[in-house]
Structure 1
Amino acid sequence: MSCPICNKEAVARYRPFCCKRCADIDLGRWLKGDYAVPATDPEDTEKAAEEMARATPRLH
C-alpha cells in the first residue's frame, strides 16, 4: 500500500501513511474542509448552516 499523500510505501505505525508528517498533512486537509463534498441543493446548504448555528456556542 502506498501513502495517499506522497506515494511512498506505507509504514504500519502510520498506516495508511508513510510517516507522521503525511498523517498530519491529511488531518490538516480534513480540518480545513478540503475533503468536503460540495452540496448543490440549496436546502442542504441551509440545513447545514442551521446545524452549525445550533452546535456553535454563542459568545456574549
Structure 2
Amino acid sequence: MDVDPEEYTPITLDELPIGEDIPNEIESIDIVEASDEWSQWRDDLAGEMFDNWMSKRT
C-alpha cells in the first residue's frame, strides 16, 4: 500500500485557515549563532555535493 489511509486525509478549502484564523504574529528564527559543529557539517555537505557533481561530469 503506497498511502496509509489514516495518515492521508485530503484537505478541502473549507478546512484551510483563511483570514482571521491566521495569527497576526508568526514566530520566526531571526538569528542563528554559528558553531564549529554546524560549520563542519556544512563544509562536509558542500564537499560531498561538489565531489558528486564532479564525478558526474567525467
The TM-score, its normalising length taken from structure 1, stands at 0.30
The structure showing larger relative contact order (alpha-carbon pairs under 8 Å, at least 6 residues apart) is: 1
The TM-score, its normalising length taken from structure 2, stands at 0.31
